[in-house]
Amino acid sequence: FAVQGEKWKYTNLTWSLSSTRRPSQLDPYETRSVLARALNVWAQASRLTFTEINSDEADIVVSFAKRYHDDAYPFDGRGAILAHAFFPGTGRGGDAHFDDDELWLLQPRDDDEEGTSLFAVAAHEFGHSLGLSHSSVKGALMFPWYQGIQQNFVLPEDDRNGIQQMYGPKTDTTQWGKVPQFRPTTTTTTTTTTTTTTTTTRRPYIPYHDRHHNRHPEQYPNRGYTPRIPNRYPERHYPDHRRHYNTSDEHPRRTNHHHTYRPTERTTHPTTYRPRYPYVQPEYPSNPRPHYPNDPRQDNPRKPYYPEKTTQRTTTTTPSDKPDTCDTSYDAVALIRGELFIFKNRYHWRIGAHGRYPGYPMEITRMWASLPKDLTHVDAVYERPDRKIAIFIGKQLYLFDLLNLLPGYPKPLSAFGLPASLEKLDAAMVWGHNGNTYFYSGSMYWKYDEEKGRVDYDYPRNMAMWKGVGYNIDSVFQWKDGKTYFFKGKGFWKFNDLHMRVENDKQYPSATFWMGCATERSGRRAGYK
Amino acid sequence: RSRPTRSAHEKSARNYLETFGYLKKGRPEVGNLQLMNHEQEYEDEFRIAIKTLQEFGAIPVTGEIDKATLALMKQKRCGRPDREEDDDEHRRKKR
């Protein structure tokens, strides 16, 4: 066995099936029953206990997702990669993700080779959730390749040694609790796969809809809010998601001495809550949750409130050069500190974990005040590996340390080995496939050596290397999924880095995907050939 | 000039080895001249990675992409790397 290094500081862990990412093909109640049995495999061999709390604040949140799903480990459809889990820790730590495209079997079937036992995979993934890495012992539960599961499964010795090294063996004075069965009724209870025969008083099962919506009844008085979950963090009442706001390393249960959930008085709104203005921050938030343009939660009233600072407004009329968010091409697109920045004319949009920031598009110079006051547009923007932000305008490079222009800048493009005759760059990016930086202009591109500060001597080369994107691109960048996206006109291509060509010859409309605009407005009928 | 073309099996194997932590990611772009100088070094790394995979997967250690290795790479498995690097993504902390 292999211990990764991180472990839980307590043994009474909580778990939950995600309220939003449940299996599409499985009954959630049976799924929870299987997950409880999988956790019980580890409970039987160690001092660990697992309590289902039906909350996204649980230590181990189990979710089902397809393809790209909010982390750097996209699923691949049916077969091959089945699931993954994160090692112990706060935030995403401990969470287990299952590929919703798999044919999951709730009951082991010897004669069905196509299906995959959810119990077997869950038991393996929970090993990661508890701090175990992969084992090279064939037959061990933590062996990385799927081996199926047998009836009356008992944790193999290799895994038992691993879990007991971290959390100690099970004490002798306890007995095993009965593995609970879940029933789809309102009297369904949260359950404890505990080492004692004592059962705690459990709160009734409350559907997600009832539990989570309208935490602000004064704002949404007609939603029938009934506070049922104690607010453990009254000073953080507004937030809707643990990963963004639970900044404490303290285990939530430490403030909840007995684990019975009781309705409590709703805490009044905090007086310490401050909106995120003034807008310019000392550091960008570093991406608690990637932005998914079509994420329905963008319209969720529970999303954090970013009030507009009306005093900063200098005009109420729309300038003529202000681009239409849902009907425009882009001058540059860049991922900076985990947020998407899209530039057009002298404006830019900022798209963070919760979608597009309100009040945008906003003048670029309000973010980077050292840029020319008469700025009309930028040509290319990218975040360098040293986190400095490079902004190309015409024949000049402006280099910023966050918001501050570095001494000696702007510098001419020729200072970096680019031809003196070059009027501008079209795009610049750090290519995720190899970590190198590339500049694009017209029909040519250059590889830029960040250490030497110059383009490599055997460049430029023809853009034909990047099959499918043509010449004179508008922008290119690497998104959080590790994929490369080229932009031209009002559309974009997703690029296959391994095959060095676009995945689809036909463009996708940018506004629909990146700005979350309605399809009709983004001009889909016009075609993107 | 470009480096010698690799077989589809090699490309697929390299991707697999990178995904599951046997090879470090970050190989230069197709046709990168710099790679030419390190071709031998790269081949050695690749063979070592294949051997490590074979050892981990409990199949004969040959250093070649043989049938057993191809079969191993097609098997259903966990998405976590077998050889963990220090990776913030796996140890994300609440701020």
DSSP for A58-79, written as a single string: SSEEEEEE-SS-SSS----SSS
> What confidence tier does B40 reach under pLDDT thresholds 50, 70, 90?
low
> What confidence tier does B6 reach under pLDDT thresholds 50, 70, 90?
low
Using the 8-state DSSP alphabet, how is residue A372 labeled? -
Give the separation between CA A68 and CA A293, rounded to whole angstroms: 13
Give the separation between CA A409 and CA A400, rounded to whole angstroms: 9
| Best mutation target, A3, A81, A114, A146, to test chain B (most B CBs within 10 A) | A81
The answer to whether the Cβ–Cβ distance between A286 and B95 falls below 8 Å is yes
| Best mutation target, A134, A452, A501, to test chain B (most B CBs within 10 A) | A134
Q: What is the mean pLDDT of residues B18-33?
A: 64
| Residue listed under structure tokens 């043509």 | A470
- CB A134: neighbour CB atoms within 10 A? 26
The answer to whether the Cβ–Cβ distance between A144 and B76 falls below 8 Å is no
Using the 8-state DSSP alphabet, how is residue A524 labeled? G
Tokens of A409: 């800048």
Pairing status of strand A104-105 against strand A116-117: parallel
- For residues A1-15, b (16+ Cβ closer than 10 Å) or e, as one string? bbebebbbeebbbbb
- Asked if A98 contacts B80 with a C-beta cutoff of 8 angstroms, the reply is no
pLDDT of residue B42: 65
B82 touches chain A (CB under 8 A): yes
- Of all residues in chain A, the one with the smallest CA distance to B81 is A134
Q: Which amino acid is at A239?
A: P
- Of all residues in chain A, the one with the smallest CA distance to B80 is A84
A451 is catalytic: no
pLDDT of residue A293: 44
The answer to whether the Cβ–Cβ distance between B28 and A500 falls below 8 Å is no
**Euclidean distance between the first and final Cα of chain B, in Å?**
48
Q: Where are the beta strands (DSSP E) in A395-469?
A: 396-401, 404-405, 411-412, 427-430, 437-441, 444-449, 454-455, 461-462
Catalytic one of A6, A52, A113, A125 = A125
Could you say which residues of chain A have pLDDT below 70? 70, 108-113, 151, 172-320, 519-529
- Asked if A510 contacts A491 with a C-beta cutoff of 8 angstroms, the reply is yes
- For residue A461, list its beta bridge partners: A445
Using the 8-state DSSP alphabet, how is residue A171 labeled? P
Identify which of A79, A138, A458 has the shortest CB distance to residue B76.
Answer: A79
The distance of Cα A340 from the centroid of its chain, to the nearest Å, equals: 13
Q: What is the mean pLDDT of chain A?
A: 74
Taking alpha carbons only, the member of A52, A83, A76 closest to residue A194 is A52
pLDDT of residue B18: 87
Task: From residue A245, give the alpha-carbon distance in Å to each of A238, A240, A441.
Answer: 9, 8, 42
Give the separation between CA A364 and CA A377, rounded to whole angstroms: 9
pLDDT of residue A118: 94
pLDDT of residue A321: 76
- Of all residues in chain A, the one with the smallest CA distance to B56 is A136
- Of all residues in chain B, the one with the smallest CA distance to A5 is B91
* Chain B residues lying within 8 Å of A433, measured CB to CB: 27, 29
- Asked if A163 contacts A39 with a C-beta cutoff of 8 angstroms, the reply is no
Between B69 and A202, name the one with better pLDDT: B69
The answer to whether the Cβ–Cβ distance between A85 and B80 falls below 8 Å is yes
The answer to whether the Cβ–Cβ distance between B79 and A458 falls below 8 Å is no
Give the separation between CA B52 and CA B48, rounded to whole angstroms: 6
B67 touches chain A (CB under 8 A): no
B9 touches chain A (CB under 8 A): no
The answer to whether the Cβ–Cβ distance between B77 and A82 falls below 8 Å is yes
Give the separation between CA A57 and CA A275, rounded to whole angstroms: 23
- Asked if B54 contacts A206 with a C-beta cutoff of 8 angstroms, the reply is no
The residue length of chain B stands at 95
pLDDT of residue A135: 93
What DSSP element (H or E) covers A511?
Answer: helix A510-514
Identify which of B28, B31, B79 has the shortest CB distance to residue A84.
Answer: B79
pLDDT of residue A146: 92
B75 touches chain A (CB under 8 A): yes
pLDDT of residue A462: 84
Between A491 and B90, name the one with better pLDDT: A491
